[in-house]
Structure formats: C-alpha cells, structure tokens
Chain A
Amino acid sequence: MITINQRDELPWQAGMTVQEILDTMSYTFPRVIVSIDGVVVPHDKYAVTPVPDDADVRVIHLMAGG
C-alpha cells in the first residue's frame, strides 16, 4: 500500500511509477513537488521513477490561490 500525503492510500502494483500515481489521483496541476520517502523526484523523471511498496509519497501542489 502506498500512502499519499499522509492520508490517502493506493494499492501498490509492481512497476508503478510516479506518473501513474499522479494520473490515478487525477493530479493534473503542473506545479507539483513529488517526493518518495523524503527524496524529491525531478519533474522529468516522473514517468520512469518506480514507487516502492509502502512508500510515503508526498505530492505538494504549489497552488496558493485564486
């Protein structure tokens, strides 16, 4: 199981990438910071960065306002 932002949970699947998590969560906003177990993932590596089981994934949207 993967934990998203210390609250939401997603079932883990082998080979799952950061991009797949963003798609599953419908996180479409472009300005996000993604970290896995405290390590920030570069934007251009989302599609190729695998997410391990039991990972603590943080997806911080830099959206501070209308």
Chain B
Amino acid sequence: MNSPDLPIRAEFVYDPAALELGYTGQTLYVNVETGAVEARPVTEEMKRTFVGGRGFDLWLLWQAVHDATRWSDPENEIVISSGPCGGITQYPGSGKSIAATISPLTDIVIDSNAGGHFGPYLKFAGWDALELQGNATEEVIVLINGASGRVQLLAAPPDCPTDTHALGHWLNARFAESENERELLSFVTAGKGSEHSYMGCLNFSLYDRKRRDLRYKQAGRGGIGTVLRHKRIKALVVRARPFKGDSNQPADIDQLKATGAEMHREIARWDPVQNRMRSRGTAYLVQTMDDYDLLPVMNFQYGQHPDTPQINGDVWEQRYTQNLPDGCWYGCTVACAHAVDNYEVRTGPYAGTQVIVDGPEYETVAGVGSNCGIFDPDTILEINFYCDTYGIDTISFGTSLAFVMECYEAGILDRTMTGGLDLTFGNSAAALDLLHQIAQGEGFGLLFGKGVRKMKAHFAEHFGAEPAFLEDIGMEAKGLEYSEYLTKESLAQQGGYGLTNKGAQHDEAWLIFMDQINNQIPSFEDKAEALHYFPMWRTWFSLCGFCKLPWNDVVDPKNAEAEEPAKIPHHVENYVEIFSGVTGREVTADDLISMSESVYNFQRVFNLRLGKGRREHDAIPYRSAGPVTEAEYHSRQARYDRQLKEWLGLDPEAMGVDEKLAAHRAYRMEQYEKLIDAVYARRGWSADGIPSPETLRRLGIDYPEVLAVVKAQLPE
C-alpha cells in the first residue's frame, strides 16, 4: 500500500486479530479531535446480547453519549459494524455494513445500512466495529491498514475533493499501490451536500472488477453523512488483508456451503420468472406499486400515474449497462446492484463529464420521480448521481421535494420565498437547481436541506402557512422523511412507519400486501402480531450483516405449502443454519427473534434517554392514514364513499366533501390509536410506549442504567 505524503496527526500500531467464529474480538475507537486511538475488547456479553452490527453500534454509542447529547456535539459518534456473518461469501447478501449515530433530523438514534465492501473489510483488517468520536479541527482522513496493522489519522490536503465520485478517484490514486490492491480498499465518504443539509448520507465504496472502477452503496437515512462532515472527516479508508471464503473462520464451513448452494439454485431457478432482480434490481417494484395504487405520486396524494411506464423496471433494464448480474458483495447471486455507465452529466459542476450512476433503485425512482411528478429517466439519473456524489439521501430529498412542490402549488410558497424557483410538480430543472443549492449551501436549498419537519416550522412561522395543513401533508415521522410507499389503505403499514424506533423507514416492517391486498391480518391483534414479528425479524438482518433481499425477493413456490408463507419459513431456516454455521451457537428461529427483541427494546430505551420514544413521538401525518384534500377524495371517490357506508353506516349521497373528509379522518385516526394500544401491549410496553422493567428483564437488558431510564419515565 502506498504511503501518501500526508501529515500524520495520530498513529496506532496494532496486531490485526485473526477472526474466530465471525468475530475479531475487538473494536476500534478513534477520536478525530484528540487523536486518541484505542482497541477495545468485545466481551462475551456483547456477543450474546447485542450480537453485532446494529447491536454493537447501539451499545457502543450508549456508552459514548450523554442524555443531552445532540448530533453536532463532539461526544456523538458514528459507529459502523457489519456483524458476525458479514463477509461470508457462501450465502447471498452477506456484506452489509450498519452505521448509527444521533441524527440531525430526528435527535434520536438513527441506524442505516449499506452494501459495499467497507464493513467486511473492517473485519478483515481486524475490527468488529469502528467508533468515530470528536469534531476535528481540520479536514482529516482515517486510515485503517489491516496489512501493516496501523491506524492513522491523516490531515487531508486542500486539494482533497469532498464529493464522493471525485474523492474516490483521489483516494485510489494515493493509497492503492497497484490495480490489484484497489480490490482490497474500501472508502466511506459523503459530499458537499452533507455539509449544508441534515439529510447527508454515507457512501460505501466497492471496487468493481468488471468496470475497473469504484461504485458506491448508500447508508442513506437520517443524516449520518451530515455528522461525518461535521466531524470534518473527508473519508474513512480501510485496507483489508487478503481474504477467502473462510476468512470468518466459521464453525462449520460445510454447512455454509450446503445452505448457500441450495439458495443459489433457488435464485437461479426462480428469479428469472419472478422479480428479475438480477436484471432489473429493485426498480421492478415501480410498476407493481403503480398497479396496486401504492406508488407515491405528487407528495403521496395518489397511488398511480399514467406516465409510470416511462420510469418502470423495463425502462431501467434497457438503461442498465453491461446487462450482467451485479452484486455489491462477493457471492451474492441476487445481484441487484445495477448501474448506468458513461452517463454524461448535464448540469452543475460536473456537467460534461461521464460517470457511473449506481442504480437507480426503487426508492430513488419513486422518491425523486413519481412523487415529484417527474417521469423523465434522465432527470432521475441526474438527481441520483448528484445526490450520491453530494452525499444526500435520495429518499429524504425526494420526499422533501414532493412536500415543497405541493406547498408551491397550494400557494403556501411562491417565487419570492423560493429564490425564484418554480417548484411546480414535474419541474426537473428546478429540482436540479435546488439540489445544487444544497451542495453550495445557498438560497432556498439551505432551508430545504434541513428536511420536512424544520421546513414545516419555518413555513408556519415566516410564511404564514396554516400549521395544521403542513402537519397533514408533510410526510415525516419523528423527523425522518417517509420512504416511498402509500399507506392510506393499510393500517398495519401506517404502524410500520409510525411505530418504529428510527422514524418513517420501511426496513422495520413492510406489511402493505399482507394487510391491504391479502387481508391476512384483519384484526388489531393480527396487525399487532405482525408489527411485533416482522420488525424483530428484519432487525436481525442488521445485527448479523445480512441484506434483507434474499429473504423474500425470490422464493421457491413450494413456500405456498408452508403454514405461514409470509415468513418464508424455509429461508428463515437457512438463516438459522448460517448463523449457527458461522458462530457455532446452536439457535432456533425463535432465538433469532429474541436476539432482535433485546436490541430493539434497547433502542427504544435509548430514545427515551434522549427525551423521545413516547407515544406522542409515534404520531404520523394524516396523509399517511387518509385523504387530506378534496382532490384526493375525488380521485378515489368510489372507494371512499363505499368505506363510509361499510365502516360507518353513513350515506355519502347526503354528505358534502368536507363532511366526508372529516368522517374519514375521525375514523382512521381512531383506528391508528387503537393499533398503537394493541402493538404496545404485544411488545410489552406501557400505554405510553415505555418498555416495562419486566420486559427488559425478560430480554436480559435490565442493566442498572437502562432500568433507571425506564423507571424515571413510568408513573410511581
């Protein structure tokens, strides 16, 4: 590895630990402000209770911060960990990194995961997790060199770029000794957009052997990139030691090979006739969501649009280049990570250059596309490229843009307030101008970059907007912008967004089809059970370093014969085998849920510790539950009128639209409150959403400091 001529501010020499049963047994602490660097042990208690990944992130972050810590405080950390199964190559989707910090958008803990190579490479450099603390006084690069056993805090020179695609090339040119060594390097970066907004994302690099170039996967949610840039960290650089399929030193490599081979056969057999992830990636969902009236259109007002075929999976399949299955970690046969090569940038500082655009994935297409009334694939690619290189979360950007576009069309905003931007739905040029403003930290973009919650407050205070209307249409929960699904007709998914730890992100629970289409969970108790099981199940992926997609995006039809097909039981069994095969811990499917339950409840208590995490914080915007405007009502009038008859015994013929809207609102919000009651009861929480001491004891997280937080919140 090259030793670039950069000033060394701190150096730590270590003995890269050999992995054993998926763990290195130590975590790395780096304070970019003081230069302190330490190795910290991973205890058996940590492994048993917090497993790894998000669990380690939360445990380490809990030790680092105070009750009053906010995102910008020096004690706030970014913690990154993969998990014990991260880095195996026998089973698809086993290369995830999970990052956590206190979020600038929500003021509570955010966790967000990404593909790419960093998490596994961190392990192959000797570390189960990385803690970054302090706010540096100059621009720095953190180098973790597993080959030489050195951690260095380097001063970044003035010519070091900030935007991800340029910075990646700069880092490769300085750190990689040879083309082959590039494959052993991975970076975490953000961009200029992260510096001026609260919706900054982290980009996790992978070196693409076929393209001989860098690509990036994003830990997008909650502003972790914002925290990275606030710490003045330009980049994290990890250099892995050479590794093989057994570098995790698993307990039973034969088990991993056997379970993995069966899954690879299943993918090869069924993906081509099911979702075609290998050719279209997650963008396959665009048309499906539209077909079922679930695609967000014009700020979640509607679920379908006649122009959706212009941006659906068939279009992206034509635009993706190379037409090869394309994974973000070795051995992944789902291979959904597609890209458009040689895209010529049309606007902004990189106009005229040719770049790789990773994706676009479903959330990006729906978020910056249909939800903003933009049905032009080139605009979506342009926004995707700039969001990534500027370090901006495409979901928060898209949902925030949809919000201001509706505000503009509703007369809440005008050109005098937007700095001249005509933010009507579908205005691609204005959308890109706004994106560039965020990166420059100027104009309306500076306010926009703070996200929907802060814009709502600003519009009400300074622009005379009606606060209640803004609360109805501003699609955020806990301060985090909604990801891209319409939930009006799925009470369970309203809970899937509202009754989360981190805010409105669907990776805890995605129950729309089970609920709205299949009608498999009709009662409150059914929904509560689903809102217990699925969030716990999905949390488990983030403890171990797994991607969720191989669980349920390709499935042998024999699954139809299972007792609970929605759980994909034969895939759950795969994960039992893989976890045991790596760690040597004999576990059952129920044990996996118990692991998650401990971490999930710990995160809830963490929110309480930071002053949130109660029932009032699980509120949702009304548009998530029902129609806000007359236009929305009229767009689905037959459905809404029928519901008034069936649900409430009302005669819609005798009612005005205002009365109908009011009747829907009262009923739907009452249903949501009843859902909260049922879910809290199922999770072992009080009516105010606080985990009971009994629940904490049952889960083995009744540490004195955890119990103290809960007891302080409960009535005497």
Whole-angstrom CA separation of A66 from B548 in the bound complex: 9
Whole-angstrom CA separation of A22 from B89 in the bound complex: 39
* A59 contacts chain B at the CB level, 8 A cutoff: yes
Whether the pair B291, A62 counts as a contact (CB closer than 8 A) is no
Whether the pair B510, A62 counts as a contact (CB closer than 8 A) is no
* A10 contacts chain B at the CB level, 8 A cutoff: no
* Residues of A near any B CB (own CB < 8 A): 5-7, 26-31, 33, 40, 43, 58-66
Partner of B517, one of A30, A33, A61: A61
Given contacts A26-B292, A62-B552, A62-B559, contact A31 B274 (CB under 8 A): yes
* B707 contacts chain A at the CB level, 8 A cutoff: no
Given contacts A60-B565, A62-B565, contact A30 B273 (CB under 8 A): yes
Closest residue of chain A to B534 (Cβ to Cβ) is A64
Q: Mark B553-572, 1 if CB is under 8 A from A, else 0.
A: 00101011100011010000
Whether the pair B362, A66 counts as a contact (CB closer than 8 A) is yes
Given contacts A64-B513, A65-B552, contact A33 B560 (CB under 8 A): yes
Whether the pair A61, B560 counts as a contact (CB closer than 8 A) is no
Whether the pair A60, B518 counts as a contact (CB closer than 8 A) is yes
Whether the pair A31, B485 counts as a contact (CB closer than 8 A) is no
Whole-angstrom CA separation of A58 from B566 in the bound complex: 14
Partner of A62, one of B288, B485, B555: B555
- A-B pairs with CB below 8 Å: how many? 74
Whole-angstrom CA separation of A26 from B285 in the bound complex: 15
From residue 547 to 605 of chain B, which have CB atoms closer than 8 A to chain A? 548, 551-552, 555, 557, 559-561, 565-566, 568
Whole-angstrom CA separation of A60 from B548 in the bound complex: 21
Whole-angstrom CA separation of A27 from B552 in the bound complex: 19
Q: Mark B491-512, 1 if CB is under 8 A from A, else 0.
A: 0000000000000001000101
Closest residue of chain B to A34 (Cβ to Cβ) is B560
Partner of A31, one of B275, B282, B520, B548: B275
Closest residue of chain A to B538 (Cβ to Cβ) is A65
Residues of the B chain whose Cβ atoms lie less than 8 Å from the Cβ of A30: 273-275
Whether the pair A66, B513 counts as a contact (CB closer than 8 A) is no
* B318 contacts chain A at the CB level, 8 A cutoff: no
Whether the pair A66, B363 counts as a contact (CB closer than 8 A) is yes
Q: Mark B511-531, 1 if CB is under 8 A from A, else 0.
A: 011100111101000000000
> B371 to nearest A CB, angstroms?
14
Residues of the A chain whose Cβ atoms lie less than 8 Å from the Cβ of B519: 5-7
> B221 to nearest A CB, angstroms?
13
Which of A30, A58, A65 has the most B CB atoms < 10 Å from its CB?
A: A65
Chain B: residues with Cβ within 8 Å of the partner, total of 37
Whole-angstrom CA separation of A30 from B285 in the bound complex: 12
* B370 contacts chain A at the CB level, 8 A cutoff: no
Partner of A65, one of B548, B559, B560: B548
Whole-angstrom CA separation of A33 from B425 in the bound complex: 38
Whole-angstrom CA separation of A40 from B303 in the bound complex: 31
Residues of the B chain whose Cβ atoms lie less than 8 Å from the Cβ of A65: 506, 510, 538, 548, 552
* B26 contacts chain A at the CB level, 8 A cutoff: no
Whether the pair B560, A40 counts as a contact (CB closer than 8 A) is yes
Closest residue of chain A to B291 (Cβ to Cβ) is A28
Residues of the A chain whose Cβ atoms lie less than 8 Å from the Cβ of B566: 60, 62, 64
Whether the pair B555, A31 counts as a contact (CB closer than 8 A) is yes
Whether the pair B514, A64 counts as a contact (CB closer than 8 A) is yes
Whole-angstrom CA separation of A51 from B300 in the bound complex: 36
Whether the pair A66, B483 counts as a contact (CB closer than 8 A) is yes
Closest residue of chain A to B285 (Cβ to Cβ) is A66
> B420 to nearest A CB, angstroms?
36
Residues of the B chain whose Cβ atoms lie less than 8 Å from the Cβ of A62: 552, 555, 559-560, 565-566, 568
Partner of B510, one of A5, A28, A64: A64
> A44 to nearest B CB, angstroms?
10
Partner of A64, one of B287, B522, B552: B552
